[in-house]
Every structure is written in structure tokens, then in C-alpha cells.
Copies of this chain bind each other. A is one copy, B any other.
Amino acid sequence: MNVETNAALRNTKQRTAVSAVLAEADCFYSAQELHAMLRERGERVGLTTVYRTLQGLADAGEIDVMRPPGGEHLYRRCGQGHHHHLVCRDCGRAVEVEGPAVESWAERVAAQHGFKDVSHTMEIFGTCPECATKPPTTAP
């Protein structure tokens, strides 16, 4: 599958850099974190561009957005299909999980109440095995 999805998205250095960072990421990052990572790599990308690129990618469905308590949005490159996330609240590692039962339950419940055009959001938070064994380090 190629990237021909976008109609008029130009291939700029900044856009490539953002995509590259996301491609290597295995957990959720905030826009500001991504911006910092970019600058550490020596890429000269403005925070504004990071936001705009992220919005574009999210709009194109290439990345997933999460809105955890705290106010900042977290972004991650994701598989194409619909899925949910199991996120470690200590280290931020995220596992993609599928739950057909949840999908069908949500639609069934919505249908029972006569709701149309149904969508849903679900996130599971927990402490991953590695962080559970370590002393509970809450962001040193």
C-alpha cells in the first residue's frame, strides 16, 4: 500500500522528518515531545509545523490520536484497521489490541437506544510487566 492517499500533500523535509520519528516510535508521544526529538536529531522543524503535520497525518488516518487526562494530545503511527490501545501509564508503551466483542457490543447498545452513526473510543490503562517489577518510578 502506497501513500497516494493524499491529494495535494507535498513532500517536504519537515513532513518526512515527522513521519520518520513516528515510524520508529513504539509508544505515544505528544506534539511537544516529537518536536523536542526532532530538534535533538538536528532537524530544524517548528512546533507549528509539527502540529500541522500531525493534524494532517491524523486526518489522513495514518496516525492515531489519544487524549489522556492532562490536556495534551498523544500521537502514534498505527495500523490501518480499527483497534484500541493498551497503554502503560508508567512508561507509555502502547499495545494495539483488537476487540470485535467490544465493537459489536457498542453497536448493539447504540442500536438498542436507536442511535445512528455510531462511533466509540476506548483506551485501557495499566502498568506493564517491566514497570510493575521496577520500583514505581513516576517520571524521574
Among residues 73 to 125 in chain A, which have CB atoms less than 8 Å away from a CB atom of chain B?
A: 86, 88, 95, 97, 99, 101-102, 105-106, 109-110, 113-125
Q: Chain B's nearest CB lies how many Å from the CB of A106?
A: 5
Q: Which residues of B sit under 8 angstroms from A123, Cβ to Cβ?
A: 120-122
State the CA gap A109–B126 with chains docked (Å): 11
- Contact A105–B101 (Cβ < 8 Å): yes
Q: Chain B's nearest CB lies how many Å from the CB of A71?
A: 7
Query: A25-33, A40-48, A127-135: which lies at the B interface?
Result: A127-135
In the complex, A140 has a CB within 8 A of chain B: no
Q: Which residues of B sit under 8 angstroms from A128, Cβ to Cβ?
A: 113-115
- Contact B114–A118 (Cβ < 8 Å): no
Among residues 19 to 61 in chain A, which have CB atoms less than 8 Å away from a CB atom of chain B?
A: none
Given contacts A86-B113, A122-B123, 9 further A-B contacts (CB under 8 A): A86-B109, A86-B110, A106-B124, A110-B126, A114-B132, A116-B127, A116-B132, A117-B132, A119-B126
25 sampled A-B residue pairs with Cβ under 8 A: A67-B69, A86-B109, A86-B113, A86-B115, A97-B109, A97-B113, A101-B105, A102-B105, A102-B122, A109-B124, A110-B124, A114-B132, A116-B129, A116-B132, A117-B126, A117-B127, A117-B132, A118-B126, A119-B124, A119-B125, A119-B126, A120-B125, A121-B122, A121-B125, A122-B122
